Amino acid sequence: MSSEHPITLQHKITFILLGIASLIGWNAILTALSFFSTYYPKDEYGGDVSFLFPIPLFFGNFIWGLLVPKLGEFISLTKRISLCLAAICVFMICLPLITIGLQNKAGFALCLICTFIIGSFNSIAQNSCIGLASQVDGSLTGLYWVSTGISGLTMNAANAITLASFGDSDDGLKIGTIIYFAIAVIITLLAIWSQIAFVKSDYYLDIKKQHEESGQDNEEDNTVSAISGEEETPLVGKKKSIGEQLKAYGNKILSGIKLARFVPFFIYLIYVQTFMLFPGVSVFSKPSYTYLPGSWPTLVMLTTYNVGDIIGKYICNFKFYNIPILYGVVISRFVFFVTFLMTMHQPDNSFFSNDAFAYVNMLLFAITNGFCTGGLMFLGPTRGNNKKQAELIAFINSFSLTFGIACGSFLAPTLSG
């Protein structure tokens, strides 16, 4: 939706910061897995934290992804963003402090609870940011999506700086982790401040006014509004029972699935593939690295993934593909189960154990993830016949992504060896 007021640099910075902040909780935890594994070794705590920590994180993400539309009835879109990002800050501060202060099963359990809470608030914040991005000009929407990829690189850069400054000794990891969690908190606070300023701007107030005047005062539009998690206008007339509301909600979702056809399933499949292998198998299960010492190989592998994901999303801008091509690429990604598992279980094989192969394998894995995600997220909504149907398909696709992440994370321990 366009506005008579121009898009300013501050508006662009807002959506860059929101893109980074919407995934920074997960990326901070991912970057710190080496730190957590030092305090909670797998022999003493029933498993590797690289497999265990993502489970409550994405379980929380999945559960609250279902409930975001209902929250839209009680808390406005813009308030959800700022409140949830603030809560993420609190628990990002708690997580490393609990790890350092409680090196026992109680501390381990509290860390799992913290990751669940971070995942829950992250889900609400991310879905609400997507709702906000869907209301504005496409250039701001594009900045938001690219910045979600930059989120990982931001934490990788912070980790590299702290690792170079303090080393990978126990004390060095402790200081470095505290510093880059603090960096994550500062970036998130900047995103909150910038978002609050944005929703008071003439540009957004004009967009909001147009949105309210675009015919969302009828029952059909309010159903879609509830699904997308945007603010609702009260319905006029007799209020429906809870059963009738649930039936209408279910029928609307089914109609969206019929329009989208197999697109949501393939988005789900992408993230089952990705999170069964990443980060546990693809990063942390390689028996040894030879090119780089200490914690550096882990950092390079994570950075390679984030760079590849951004490259894949950038490739989508060229629009040389169609949905059947994307389906074919998704199916072809099952080959990575062979390559990563061979690297994990064949340490004596000179080809699969080579560090260069590991980095190239990770790069291709990430590029296909970004390319297929971006392509299906772009083409899927085009199967709608109007703006409301496109929004509905976009919501179903986003939920499929979240559900795929949750399922992949739960299944990942089956590959832990």
Lowest mean pLDDT among 35-39, 93-97, 235-239, 383-387: 235-239
- Residue 113: which of 62, 56, 39, 47 has the closest Cα? 56
For the chain, what's the residue count?
A: 417
Q: Is the pLDDT of residue 243 over 90?
A: no
Higher pLDDT, 93 or 378: 93
pLDDT over 90 percentage in the chain: 24
CATH number of the CATH domain containing 32:
1.20.1250.20
Would you state the pLDDT for residue 239?
62
Same domain, 231 and 288: no
Would you state the pLDDT for residue 279?
80
Beta-carbon contacts of 84 under 8 Å, excluding residues fewer than 6 positions away, are 121, 122, 124, 125, 128
Would you state the pLDDT for residue 361?
96
- Separation of alpha carbons 51 and 398, rounded Å: 23
- Separation of alpha carbons 292 and 287, rounded Å: 14
Same domain, 267 and 235: no
Lowest mean pLDDT among 9-13, 211-215, 358-362, 412-416: 211-215
Same domain, 189 and 42: yes
Tell me the two tokens of residue 92.
Answer: 């990002």
Same domain, 231 and 327: no
Residue 31: C-alpha distances to residues 160, 295, 310 (Å): 10, 11, 17
Same domain, 160 and 72: yes
Higher pLDDT, 241 or 97: 97
CB 283 within 8 Å of CB 386: no
On whether residue 251 sits in a domain, the answer given is no
Q: How many domains does the chain have?
A: 2
- For 45-95, the three-class secondary structure string (H helix, E strand, C coil) is HCCCHHHHCHHHHHHHHHHHHHHHHHHCCCCCHHHHHHHHHHHHHHHHHHH
Would you state the pLDDT for residue 211?
64
CB 249 within 8 Å of CB 223: yes
Would you state the pLDDT for residue 236?
46
- Residue 137: which of 3, 227, 299 has the closest Cα? 3
Stretch 319-328: mean pLDDT: 92
5 CB-contact burial (10 Å; exposed 0-12 / middle 13-18 / buried 19+) = middle
Would you state the pLDDT for residue 190?
95
- Residue 10: which of 278, 196, 175, 247 has the closest Cα? 196
Would you state the pLDDT for residue 310?
86
Same domain, 199 and 232: yes
Higher pLDDT, 232 or 335: 335
The sign of the torsion formed by the CA atoms of 308, 313, 319, 323 equals positive
Stretch 202-211: mean pLDDT: 79
Same domain, 40 and 169: yes
**DSSP state for residue 344 in the 8-state scheme:** H
Q: What is the pLDDT of residues 112-162, one digit of tens each?
A: 999 899 888 888 888 888 778 777 777 787 788 778 878 888 888 888 888
Q: Which domain holds residue 388?
A: 256-417
Same domain, 229 and 329: no
Q: Is the pLDDT of residue 111 over 60?
A: yes
Of the spans 72-86, 104-118, 137-151, 240-254, which averages the highest pLDDT? Answer: 104-118
Of the spans 10-14, 51-55, 380-384, which averages the highest pLDDT? Answer: 10-14
Higher pLDDT, 207 or 403: 403
On whether residue 105 sits in a domain, the answer given is yes
Q: What DSSP letter does each residue of 249-281 carry, written as one string?
A: HHHHHHHHHHHHTTHHHHHHHHHHHHHHHTTII
- Separation of alpha carbons 164 and 265, rounded Å: 42
Would you state the pLDDT for residue 219?
38
Tell me the two tokens of residue 292.
Answer: 């780089």
H and E: helices and strands count for the chain: 18, 0
Same domain, 3 and 132: yes
Residue showing tokens 């028996």: 287
Q: Which of 212, 239, 266 is the last residue of a domain?
A: 239
On whether residue 214 sits in a domain, the answer given is yes
Residue 48: C-alpha distances to residues 242, 345, 417 (Å): 43, 17, 11
Lowest mean pLDDT among 118-132, 190-204, 258-272: 118-132
Stretch 235-244: mean pLDDT: 60
Lowest mean pLDDT among 169-183, 264-278, 297-311: 169-183
The mean predicted confidence, pLDDT, of the chain is 82
Longest dimension (CA), the chain: 72
Q: What is the pLDDT of residues 15-73, one digit of tens each?
A: 999 989 988 887 888 778 878 888 888 777 777 777 788 788 878 887 887 777 667 67
Q: Is the pLDDT of residue 284 over 90?
A: no
Q: Which of 239, 268, 303 is the last residue of a domain?
A: 239
- The total of other beta-carbon atoms located within 10 Å of residue 10's CB is 12
Would you state the pLDDT for residue 216?
46
What backbone phi and psi angles, to 5 degrees, belong to 211? -60, -40
Q: Is the pLDDT of residue 168 over 80?
A: no
